[in-house]
Amino acid sequence: FQLPEQGKKKARPAAGARNRQPEKLHGDGLWEAEETRDCDQEEILVLTDNEWMHYAAAAAAQCQSSDLKAAYRKVDRPAMEAWYMDDSDEDQRLPHHLDPPQYVSHEALAKLGVLHWVLDAVIYEDDPELEKIRADRGYSYKDIITVSPDKLPNYEHKIRNFFEEHIHLDEEIRYCLEGSGYFDVRDAQDRWIRIWVKKGDMIVLPAGSYHRFTLDANNYIKAMRLFVGEPLWTPYNRPQDDHQTRKDYVNHFLQGQQDAVIAH
């Protein structure tokens, strides 16, 4: 693959893909890398998702400009989707969109303290970008969990517990290496937001945030679990409103957003 020269090249999703429903952007979508070699010469490369991942990763690794690096990372695959949930009792593995769907931006997730990166899961065993995040955030511990009916011992019991609304006293950090699943979080008005995590998505749910996890209809996820120090996976099921970790989360992330709604 050609690598970008600083400031000269742009990359964007294939034009046809932009008008499709967000779900269809995943998987077998094609990407275009538009390379401007000099002022009047342009070349469009059409790449598969996998090729594009490698192209973008290589470009980011060799590029000097941090602005350009960010631009390449941003478009290297479709954004992780999140949406408000309906309140139907149907199978938890279904998407549970509102009608019409109401998507939630990454900025709105960030206000709830939910962090997100897209990494190249193909190279997870030796990925400088992952190692940088681990070093920056002190994620000294890691292991891998596979959640599927045939791979996870005591599957039924565990999947039930994952879907009980709970908090942890530390961040919940998960990096999806294969498959997919839903992490549900509460917004400041206590509405459920469903976050669809797929291969390459790494998310952090803050300590004290109510959340739950379920597989989607594919029934399979392989994820890296990370932690600062010795891991504690203990869930504290809702209600935990008197727990100091919960109070700290509410004060830090939700209070301002709740006040803003009341002021309207």
Ligand X SMILES: CSCCC(=O)/C(O)=C/O
Rounded alpha-carbon distances, angstroms, from residue 205 to 5, 129, 213: 36, 20, 11
The pair of structure tokens assigned to 34 is: 């538009």
CB of 74 to Fe ion, least distance (A): 28
- At what angle are helices 128-137 and 49-62 packed, to 10 degrees? 60
Chosen from ligand X, Ni ion, Fe ion, none, partner binding at 116 (C-beta under 5 to 8 Å by type): Ni ion
CB of 145 to ligand X, least distance (A): 5
Window 116 to 145, contacts with Ni ion (CB under 5 A): 116
Q: Identify which of residues 25 and 221 has a Cβ nearer to ligand X in the complex.
A: 221
Window 175 to 194, contacts with ligand X (CB under 6 A): 181
CB of 200 to Ni ion, least distance (A): 11
CA torsion sign for 31, 35, 41, 45 is: negative
Which span (76-84, 151-159, 166-174, 256-264) binds Fe ion, by CB under 5 A? 166-174
Q: Is 172 in the site for Fe ion (CB under 5 A)?
A: yes
Q: Which of 223, 224, 226, 254 binds ligand X (CB under 6 A)?
A: 223
Residue count of the chain: 264
Greatest CA separation for the chain: 64
The one-letter code for the residue type at 102 is: Q
Dist CA 120 CA 123 (whole Å): 6
The pair of structure tokens assigned to 234 is: 């203990």
Chosen from Fe ion, Ni ion, ligand X, none, partner binding at 221 (C-beta under 5 to 8 Å by type): ligand X
Binding site for Fe ion (CB under 5 A): 172
